[in-house]
Amino acid sequence: MNNAEQIDYWNGEAGQRWAAEDARMARMLQPVTAALLDHLAPQVGERALDIGCGGGGQTLLLAERLGGTGSVLGIDISAPMLAVARGKFTAVLPEYASV
């Protein structure tokens, strides 16, 4: 798939399905996410970029580790998934991250 096809795909039905299943997907990915964050070992005050942040679950966990003096920017090509991510940060940690 080329870039334009990926954008169409993730902004269409596929992105809507993933967004609808975000909580389940986050639970499934939790062990991998925890291992990756442990390996990454982010420090309070650092800045991070989460490319392909999807529904923002991993971005939120990273933001928590970076603390109030750090920041994380989550980006994704899927508007449906970014809407889910924005909702998480607006409700929980609006001062920690941009999505």
Locate the domains of the chain by residue range: 3-98
pTM for this predicted structure = 0.82
- Cα gap 57→76, rounded to integer Å: 13
Looking at residue 91, what is its pLDDT?
64
2-39: pLDDT as tens digits: 999 999 999 999 999 999 999 999 999 999 999 999 99
Looking at residue 92, what is its pLDDT?
64
Show the DSSP H helices in the chain as ranges.
3-11, 13-20, 22-40, 57-66, 79-91
CB 76 within 8 A of CB 85: yes
CB 88 within 8 A of CB 60: yes
CB 44 within 8 A of CB 22: no
Domain spanning 3-98: which CATH class is it, in words? alpha beta
Q: What is the dihedral of CA 95, 42, 81, 88, to 10 degrees?
A: -40
85-97: pLDDT as tens digits: 988 887 666 554 4
